[in-house]
Amino acid sequence: MSSTMNRNNTLQTMRNPLDVVVRPESVALVGITVNNPEHWTRTFLDSLVEFGFERPIFLVNPRGGEINGRKVYTSLEEVPSTIEYVISTVPAKASAGLVRQCATKGTKVVHFCTAGFSETGSKEGIEMERELVAAGRETSIRLLGPNCMGIYCPESRLAIDPSFPKEAGPVAFISQSGANVNQLVRRSALRGIRFSKAFSFGNACDLSESDILEYLAEDDATEIIAIYIEGVKDGRRFRKALEKAAAAKPVVLLKGGVTAAGARAVFGHTGALAGSEGTWDALCRQTGVIKVSSMDEIVDVLVALRFMTLPRGNRTLVVGAGGGASVMTTDQIEKNGLAVPALPHDVVEQLREFSSDAGNILRNPIDYSQDLWQPGKTVKMAGIATASSVIDLLLVFTSAGLFSSKSGSKLPEYAEMIVAAMKGCSKPAASVVELSASPEEQALMFTLFQKLVQAEFPVFFSASSAARAISTLLECNQRKQRRGRLIEEVVSKGAAYS
Amino acid sequence: MSSTMNRNNTLQTMRNPLDVVVRPESVALVGITVNNPEHWTRTFLDSLVEFGFERPIFLVNPRGGEINGRKVYTSLEEVPSTIEYVISTVPAKASAGLVRQCATKGTKVVHFCTAGFSETGSKEGIEMERELVAAGRETSIRLLGPNCMGIYCPESRLAIDPSFPKEAGPVAFISQSGANVNQLVRRSALRGIRFSKAFSFGNACDLSESDILEYLAEDDATEIIAIYIEGVKDGRRFRKALEKAAAAKPVVLLKGGVTAAGARAVFGHTGALAGSEGTWDALCRQTGVIKVSSMDEIVDVLVALRFMTLPRGNRTLVVGAGGGASVMTTDQIEKNGLAVPALPHDVVEQLREFSSDAGNILRNPIDYSQDLWQPGKTVKMAGIATASSVIDLLLVFTSAGLFSSKSGSKLPEYAEMIVAAMKGCSKPAASVVELSASPEEQALMFTLFQKLVQAEFPVFFSASSAARAISTLLECNQRKQRRGRLIEEVVSKGAAYS
């Protein structure tokens, strides 16, 4: 399609509005603050510049002036060109008027960042949102928001924060809350996850969670979908969209506001009706969606989906440092749905030749504290024990604060040992590197953590969270198997090893 | 008592063996490695030197020689004095013999660090532990361990790690596992907790968890007792000791090996029999002991006991930054036993004058994201809302990564705002500062965290863990109230404010 045709109005009208959001021909930032570079409305410009957005960007504020050498137009009318996508930070009461002005500029979609609409619960707020919707209908302009941060799409150099990763990846995120996009993208990025798109949709007065979900279900750049949702307005449609998406790729869902007080907070946040936890549990079970219950769990499940093959079962070989830690680790793993079986006699016999201490070390968990600095031994033992028919996966555990400034020099060798153990074993493998509050310890643990992330291994921050993420996927897979489908077929696409 | 009388043998015989462990007249480190300063057996010497232990220290190893200018005796016989307390790192098979040699030196207690006894499950190991016990009986020498790290007592300058805090505090810890002493002391120290004593007792072949618990119940320097236990040999006696201790001061207990596989790991770790989780739950309920289920939870409960007055009820005002975060935070708090009630109409009216956004900000949680840099406002709103009769406590929440290198300069002002809000309010208060994996973010969050710890406020790493710790104490208190006792009476001793 030539760029001339692309600018043809008739064809543009037919573009999916989410295509416009994801890859706009031009963007206007309306309501951007001119004099205060620290003001939150500057985030969008900072992000577009940092990401190197290559299409026209127009700035609009009645004050006029300049921002970093870019002209600020005093009104939309003054902009000497059409504007496909508008990001608005104008006050709530000016929003409906803005939509009508946009109609004169060939605008397809307006994203309203501004809050103060139906989520306030006030008469005025509800009325203003109604007017906004009416203006959208009148002008055939589609609306994203209000009360949200909009789109992050590294491929087309759109972001809602300049510090987001610039590389794209196979995970898409749909979030009612913009703050949660920020949290999820940052936390996932640290764990090696990259995104195709992340949408925050706020009050969803027009473009909704279902529109976005249907769009992502068919998006070739998206292999895994994560959703943070507080409530839906059209439950039947959302259910169908979930079904369609979950049939095509793994879908992970976090419902915000599952407790009564949480539901009240939801209403204050995005004006949505929350629904009970039981309803959402059933919805996810029936549609084959992986339901989780915290932001950390979303990230954990994404890490497992992205960087490990689903194990055949839940029987885990635990290899880790620290005696008391092993007992606690075993408890945490079993409480979170994985099993830590005893190793059979013949495997113990095979391990015996490596052990200086015939007792402790030959059990599961294998506590290699005493051989911490003899990595070759640990790698061999992990390999032999993981190959046993009673074991489905390997979990390598490192306690917070295992390294001090004294032993920090041995960290690279230790990291290589873990990589070798995970690469060398014949079953899916994951690792746990505990966080520490102490910045010195944390810096050392982070070095280890990063080496494992760079090697594209799944790394978790606790044995509980590793076990919970993996057992959640196993349970979901069992349900799907009963229904004749295998999540694994989809999951294995993203596997770092097979 | 004169020092002459103190050295009188008859009187010494009458000393409680745990008094000897806690404040020995002299120490010998038998089995210390001479040539390798990195060897783990050197930890005890390094710790005594670092802590400035002022009584005689003797080093013994058949090789002889010197360590940092200190003579290494080739045998116990060679030591030209009595030795009250021996820390042994000799091999398991030489241990019983060592006890008999100690008899010639007037030794009262030997701590066996060495593993390889009954915890291996091997015939040889079990037999060696039996011989050890027999040697102890024969010689009237009391034994600590084997398979443990012994004593940390900052007041008498004894430690098992040179990096432990040198200041003493009101918390005592009893742990079957030495590694857990290390973990608990470090993690608690970061949160502002200091210790009177910490004991690791390993296989407890002679001096047991009950001996230590009875001792600490009467110890004036100890106001709160924490226990990590994997299994007991004399259940009836332990139950009595728990009852006695819990009647005198708060006792927090973590049972390791509550799952079947965990119990197996316990046996491999300290050779103890684990018992079912139900048994332990009942034991704690009946004796008024606070039962927790992870090391992190022990620390959280200690923080709550040490730095906050127990609230009258569970109704929590949440003040925090980030919209989606508030919904999730509310869910996490309610799921973990606290309530987040709506504020009454009159309170909302009082708050209205401070709010730029009449909707969101007047609810509970109060989301002050938009007024993040107008701290005075937040402090006043927190004060007014917390004073409401529907609120029992204040929880101030800060998301991980709230500060970037850009906004980091505002952190001191932000920290002062939280301190002012917590000090200014008329109810018990706690705060949450989330950890981050990113070292840069973590360093900023840690600065905030430390300011709150220095101000002696309770700081938790997540809303869930804050809610769980506080609701655990509330539940335990309710049980005690029904039995006519108030945990609060004891707890308020350690309160930072009333």
Question: At a CB cut-off of 8 Å and minimum separation 6, what does A163 contact?
Answer: A186, B404
Predicted confidence (pLDDT) per residue in A187-215, tens digit? 899 999 999 999 999 999 999 999 999 99
With CB atoms and an 8 Å threshold, state whether B294 touches A328: yes
In the prediction, which pLDDT does B498 show?
A: 28
pTM equals 0.86
Q: How many CA atoms lie within 13 A of A5 on its CB side?
A: 4
Share of chain A above pLDDT 90, in %: 62
Q: How far apart are CA B129 and CA B96, in angstroms?
A: 8
With CB atoms and an 8 Å threshold, state whether B404 touches A264: no
Chain A interface, best mutation among B127, B327, B434, by max A CB count within 10 A: B327
Predicted confidence (pLDDT) per residue in A39-71, tens digit? 889 999 999 999 999 999 999 999 999 999 999
Contact A251, A290 (CB under 8 A): yes
Predicted confidence (pLDDT) per residue in B55-97, tens digit? 999 999 999 999 999 999 999 999 999 999 999 999 999 999 9
Distance from CA of B138 to the nearest CA of A (A): 28
- Out of B187, B268, B365, name the one closest to residue A363 (CB): B268
With CB atoms and an 8 Å threshold, state whether A262 touches B295: no
Q: Residue A9, class by beta-carbon neighbours within 10 Å (0-12 exposed, 13-18 middle, 19+ buried)?
A: exposed
Give the best-scoring range by mean pLDDT among B3-12, B62-71, B404-413. Answer: B62-71
- From the list A182, A146, A149, A160, the residue with the least C-alpha distance to A272 is A146
Distance from CA of A104 to the nearest CA of B (A): 31
Is pLDDT larger for residue A180 or for residue B136?
A: B136
Whole-number average pLDDT of chain B: 87
Q: How far apart are CA B12 and CA B142, in angstroms?
A: 13
Reported residue count of chain A is 498
The answer, yes or no, to whether residue A219 has pLDDT greater than 60, is yes
With CB atoms and an 8 Å threshold, state whether A176 touches B324: yes
The answer, yes or no, to whether residue B4 has pLDDT greater than 70, is no
Share of chain A above pLDDT 70, in %: 87
In the prediction, which pLDDT does A4 show?
A: 42
The answer, yes or no, to whether residue B495 has pLDDT greater than 70, is no
Name chain B contacts of A334, Cβ cutoff 8 Å. 259-262
Cβ neighbour number for residue A352 with a 10 Å cutoff: 11
- Out of B177, B332, B404, name the one closest to residue A324 (CB): B177
Q: Residue B389, class by beta-carbon neighbours within 10 Å (0-12 exposed, 13-18 middle, 19+ buried)?
A: exposed
Name chain A contacts of B461, Cβ cutoff 8 Å. 437
With CB atoms and an 8 Å threshold, state whether A269 touches B332: no
In which element (H, E) is residue A227 found?
strand A224-229
Is pLDDT larger for residue B9 or for residue B243?
A: B243
With CB atoms and an 8 Å threshold, state whether B330 touches A268: no
In the prediction, which pLDDT does B315 show?
A: 97
Predicted confidence (pLDDT) per residue in B22-38, tens digit? 999 999 999 999 999 98
Question: At a CB cut-off of 8 Å and minimum separation 6, what does A69 contact?
Answer: none
What mean pLDDT do residues B4-12 have? 44
CB burial readout A236-255, b (16+ within 10 A) else e: ebbeebbbbbbebbbbbbbb
Q: How far apart are CA B283 and CA B235, in angstroms?
A: 10
In the prediction, which pLDDT does B373 show?
A: 65
Predicted confidence (pLDDT) per residue in B277-295, tens digit? 788 899 999 999 999 999 8
Q: Which residue of A has its CA nearest to B114?
A: A357
Name chain A contacts of B116, Cβ cutoff 8 Å. 357, 359
Q: Which residue of A has its CA nearest to B360?
A: A268
With CB atoms and an 8 Å threshold, state whether B125 touches A359: yes
With CB atoms and an 8 Å threshold, state whether A122 touches B177: no
Contact A371, A379 (CB under 8 A): no
What mean pLDDT do residues B302-306 have? 97
Q: Which residue of B has its CA nearest to A118?
A: B359
Q: Which residue of A has its CA nearest to B464?
A: A294
The answer, yes or no, to whether residue B245 has pLDDT greater than 80, is yes
Contact B61, B32 (CB under 8 A): yes
Q: Which residue of B has its CA nearest to A175?
A: B324
What mean pLDDT do residues A466-479 have? 94
Predicted confidence (pLDDT) per residue in A381-413, tens digit? 899 999 999 999 999 998 877 776 667 788 888
Is pLDDT larger for residue A470 or for residue A445?
A: A470
Does ipTM top 0.90?
Answer: no
Cβ neighbour number for residue A48 with a 10 Å cutoff: 20
Share of chain B above pLDDT 90, in %: 62
Name chain B contacts of A258, Cβ cutoff 8 Å. 331, 335
In the prediction, which pLDDT does B125 show?
A: 93
The answer, yes or no, to whether residue B487 has pLDDT greater than 60, is no
pLDDT band at A266 (very low <50, low <70, confident <90, very high): low
Distance from CA of B1 to the nearest CA of A (A): 41
- Out of A176, A326, A446, name the one closest to residue B269 (CB): A326
pLDDT band at B1 (very low <50, low <70, confident <90, very high): very low
With CB atoms and an 8 Å threshold, state whether A259 touches B330: yes
In the prediction, which pLDDT does B13 show?
A: 52
Q: How far apart are CA A190 and CA B128, in angstroms?
A: 50
Least confident stretch, A34-38, A91-95, A170-174: A34-38
pLDDT band at B171 (very low <50, low <70, confident <90, very high): very high
Q: Which two tokens stand for residue B411?
A: 């952190």
Is pLDDT larger for residue A441 or for residue B59?
A: B59
Axis crossing angle, helix B295-307 with helix B178-190, rounded to the nearest 10: 40
Q: How many CA atoms lie within 13 A of B362 on its CB side?
A: 21
- Strand partners of residue A367: A320
The answer, yes or no, to whether residue A445 has pLDDT greater than 90, is no
What mean pLDDT do residues B351-357 have? 71
Contact B85, B26 (CB under 8 A): yes
Distance from CA of B77 to the nearest CA of A (A): 30
Predicted confidence (pLDDT) per residue in B453-471, tens digit? 999 999 999 999 999 999 9
Contact B367, B361 (CB under 8 A): yes
Distance from CA of A333 to the nearest CA of B (A): 9
Is pLDDT larger for residue A348 or for residue B64?
A: B64
Q: Which residue of A has its CA nearest to B357?
A: A116
What mean pLDDT do residues A349-356 have? 77
